[in-house]
Structure 1
Amino acid sequence: MQIDLHCHTTASDGALTPAEMVMRAGVMQIDVLAITDHDSVSGFYAAKKAREEQRLARLQLIPGVEFSTLWEGFEIHILGWQFDLEHPAIVRLLAEQRERRHQRSEAIHAKLVKQGVAADVLPTPRPDSRPELNSESTAKVVTRLHYAEALFAHGYCNSVQNAFEKYLGKGQCAYEKPQWCLMSEAVAVINAAGGVASIAHPLAYDLSNKWLRRLITEFKDDGGQALEVISSQQNPEQRRWLTELALEYELLASAGSDFHYPGRYRELGRNLTMPNELTPVWHDWPLQIRGM
């Protein structure tokens, strides 16, 4: 099966609407897809409706989310799947994270305006505060990427990356320190709602091997079950290293493209083959095997 458990829609910082994501998944012949927007599940509801409208019986959608969390001063992203979307703990944490995002966005907006950026070219910092439970629309959250794209589009910097270097990156004039939930809380909430928790892109946090091992140890002690071992932009050495860690710490392995927009180097479902020695996180999920 073609499985991708990590992608983003316009409900967070992706370029495709949930309906467009479902359509692309069909084109790319994806069998199992988890939409894992940042601190939001509204994209899943919209994708589920689009799947029915497009009659993509082959595509299986998995409830998912990517929580932004804090651990020892680092921002660590925790993926969750197969949880009860209406569980009170999930609903509460999503609402709290959304409010944290709104507050951070407002602070970034104010700092950029103070630096002379015209307010009317920037994203609305609090575009939608509606509860997202059972929402058929995509309740949007504004991220730093949205600000970076606006700054680039209106000539305040020469690239999206330059927007982070000049304004939005850590230590720059419009940086606002995040106030996310603790990693342990996100894992506990995912577990309470019957889901599975995984560390997203473990090599993206600039941790030494010693600190990465400490992160994995504490994550597992908190009840975490999986490690995102397979991603589309890895070299063989990185994949081998993460495979070794998953085996050593007896963690399930996940695979995901972290797809945000169509591009040459990162595509939905591409280069996500799971090594035979690993136990996939989906090994006991009730998936429909194609052709059976």
Structure 2
Amino acid sequence: MSLKYDLHSHSTVSDGTLTPAQLVHLAADAGVNVLALTDHDNVSGIGQARMAARERDISIVPGVEISVSWNGHTVHVLGLNIDPDAPILCAGLERLCDYRQWRAREIGRRLAKKGIEGAYEGACEEATGALVGRLHFARFLVQRGHARDVKEVFRKFLVSGNPGYVSGEWASLEEALGWIGDAGGMAVIAHPARYNMTRGKLRRLIGEFRELGGRGLEVVSGSHSKDEYFTMARHASDFGLLASAGSDFHGPENPWINLGQLPDLPPGCEPVWNHF
């Protein structure tokens, strides 16, 4: 019997709505055999996930989703099978977390200038973990009636040219891959079809990533269409990269794809999990 892998998920440590333990139990109930916890720029939930996994028939892959600035784009790079206590990785993530806290306060300030008071405090209430992210602002703004749903919040408030937008100042691609490598992990570009890049620019990103030691591409993602699965599989093959699969699950309220429902990788892909 083949195992079910989900190598991209989030908990309340970043912008998910389930604790690491709750996430693990839900994944096990959904038939997932191997789950990677990949919170944004934070690894503090991995210990809780491992403890919960001991109670269930599920394996935890320690991971992280690192925010990267590349040629005017914010790109996310997964570090899979990392040592979450690696000093260089932890120092780098601490820097990003400090920036995230400043950005959250700045988003709140900019929204207040547009007449939306209390957004920062509201986002903090939504965030049960240490980090306050854009998704927490989005949930607050939906609750206050400023938008119908989270997607509309991002479109009206949190992307370039809108009141709550703050440009990211994240790790460089070289820094992120260095941190992951130092932690003994494998670097994977997360949801590559989401970056709104031309085909040529995406291939430049993938090529640079590969030259810096990147190992994989998230071919099957909860935010990819079926056609994009096959497009990303071709890119992975062209650049000699391994293929990964992850739901990018944030909680039952707003799943890209529910846990346990990822399709198989397209034919010809070499799975990243074969090389852990």
TM-score category, normalised to shorter length: over 0.9
The residue aligned with 2:93 is 94
How far does the alpha carbon of each residue in 1:166-192 deviate from its partner, in whole angstroms, 9 at most, with x for none? 322211112111111111110111011
The residue aligned with 1:117 is 116
Mapping 1:190-209, distance limit 5 Å: 190-209=180-199
How far does the alpha carbon of each residue in 1:192-241 deviate from its partner, in whole angstroms, 9 at most, with x for none? 11110010011110111111110110001111111111124543321221
The residue aligned with 1:45 is 47
Code of the aligned partner of 1:258: D
Mapping 1:31-110, distance limit 5 Å: 31-52=33-54, 55-56=55-56, 58-110=57-109
The residue aligned with 2:161 is 171
Instruction: Kindly report structure 1 stretches of 4+ aligned residues shifted beyond 4 Å.
Output: none
SS at match of 1:76: strand
CA shift in 2, pair 1:272/1:43, >3 Å? farther
Code of the aligned partner of 1:241: T
Q: Contact 1:228/1:253 (CA < 8 Å) preserved in 2?
A: yes
Code of the aligned partner of 1:86: D
Code of the aligned partner of 1:85: P
Mapping 1:1-292, distance limit 5 Å: 1-52=3-54, 55-56=55-56, 58-119=57-118, 122-124=122-124, 139-262=129-252, 266-285=257-276
The structure with the greater share of residues assigned to helix is 2
How far has the Cα of 1:247 moved from its partner?
1.0
SS at match of 2:65: strand
SS at match of 1:175: coil
Q: Contact 1:231/1:272 (CA < 8 Å) preserved in 2?
A: no
SS at match of 1:78: strand
Code of the aligned partner of 2:156: K
CA shift in 2, pair 1:233/1:206, >3 Å? closer
**What 5-or-longer segments of structure 2 have no aligned partner?**
none
How far has the Cα of 1:165 moved from its partner?
2.9
Partner Cα distance (1:265, 1:93) in 2 = 28
How far does the alpha carbon of each residue in 1:11-38 deviate from its partner, in whole angstroms, 9 at most, with x for none? 1111211111011111111110001111
CA shift in 2, pair 1:34/1:264, >3 Å? closer
CA shift in 2, pair 1:165/1:139, >3 Å? closer
Code of the aligned partner of 1:269: G
Q: Contact 1:257/1:272 (CA < 8 Å) preserved in 2?
A: no
**What 5-or-longer segments of structure 1 have no aligned partner?**
128-137, 286-292
SS at match of 2:10: coil
Q: Which moved more, 1:269-278 or 1:29-38?
A: 269-278
Q: Contact 1:111/1:173 (CA < 8 Å) preserved in 2?
A: yes
The residue aligned with 1:135 is none
Code of the aligned partner of 1:105: A
Q: Which moved more, 1:270-279 or 1:203-212?
A: 270-279
The CA RMSD over aligned residues, in Å, is 1.9
TM-score by length of 2: 0.92
SS at match of 1:190: helix
Code of the aligned partner of 2:236: A
How far does the alpha carbon of each residue in 1:48-103 deviate from its partner, in whole angstroms, 9 at most, with x for none? 22223xx11x2000100000101111111000111111111111011011001001
How far has the Cα of 1:44 moved from its partner?
1.4
